[in-house]
A and B are shown apart, each in its own frame.
Chain A
């Protein structure tokens, strides 16, 4: 009888497993009831649940189903570049091409990455770990995962969940910082309507970008090349089937595999550690500093430019597309209901994705 009981998972449950179940249920609850990043939190939550079921050996090296997803999907660098292919096929770079100055805001918002990098070093993390924690400040989930898998795979669950959690909390985290760093008058600045961008410009953009970025930071090529390939699919207009597949079916499939694989890394023995709390704290610091740096840089640019930039669009330099741009729009329209900042904020928003990929490329090249 006892032998029979011992073959069940019940006899092998630990307190850690139960705590992780609660975390899994919490993620699934947040996704379903609060709509926080549901496309990722549902599979991540379920992945956590699965990997914390005793005796299922789902993450057993060489055998487990989840291990195969994780190993061939993430360790073999398949999933994050495919996510970027889909993102490229869904991204409109028009607002950024119409006002290229806003690219600088996407660069400025990477300051938070380095603040968190040094913060993590001070807390005692090693350099590769600090790189993985810092990149959370870019607010780009796939880039965070890609960097962490290379540099600190044992932190993957913590950094991925921190990145996606903070991305979903953009409407809560950013507004107080935006109010603190801008005056009412600045929030009311109206920006001139963007010029129309021709189809030729949109087709040339991914080709030029992949050449420029990959020549300067070759380590960013897997993500950047796929990002721009997806965008070329979208803009060239002759491969609609590929563009649709990349932005719909393929994106959905890899999102499921990504979520489950990330959740699968969060077993009790790997996740319930003090260092995970530090990862979350530093991730928040990174996010806050990235937001602040984008706003301050926009104000600084206003000292030299004829046409003023509304500093609220600076905060959209953290990637979190399109949530951060929407927050800029909401804050701007609160100050003046006739103020429409959404398209202006999309420029730094998509520039932030490029900036984060470059920052990640440098981390991988130097610390990898």
Chain B
């Protein structure tokens, strides 16, 4: 007997984790890109 409730939970957590972690990564890339640019401009 398949626990469909558990399967839906896996779907929900799975998609949330994939999208949220990659969205956070996008934010992090933009953030450290800006910080590095700022540092490089200052040092120049």
Contact = CB atoms under 8 A, between A and B. Distances in A.
B29 to A, nearest CB: 4
A351 B10 contact: no
Contacts of B24: 212, 216
A200 to B, nearest CB: 5
A106 interface: yes
A198 B17 CA distance: 29
B26 A101 contact: yes
Contacts of A9: none
A362 B30 contact: no
B25 A208 contact: yes
Interface of B: 2-4, 6-7, 9-11, 13-15, 17-26, 28-30, 32-33, 36, 40
Q: In the complex, which of the residues A111, A127, A355, A362 has the most CB atoms of chain B within 10 Å of its own CB atom?
A: A362
Given A117-B7, A127-B2, A366-B9, A213 B26 contact: no
Given A200-B36, A208-B32, A362 B10 contact: yes
14 contacts: A103-B22, A107-B18, A114-B15, A117-B11, A118-B11, A127-B6, A127-B10, A198-B40, A204-B36, A212-B25, A216-B24, A351-B22, A354-B25, A358-B22
B25 to A, nearest CB: 5
Q: Could you tell me the dominant secondary structure of chain B's interface residues?
A: helix
A200 B40 CA distance: 10
A247 to B, nearest CB: 23
A362 B17 CA distance: 8
Contacts of A118: 7, 11
B2 A121 contact: yes
A359 interface: yes
Nearest to B30: A100
Given A100-B29, A100-B30, A208-B28, A362 B22 contact: no
B32 A204 contact: yes
A100 B18 CA distance: 15
Given A111-B15, A367-B10, 14 more contacts: A103-B22, A104-B26, A106-B22, A107-B22, A113-B14, A198-B36, A201-B36, A208-B25, A208-B28, A212-B24, A216-B20, A216-B24, A359-B14, A361-B17
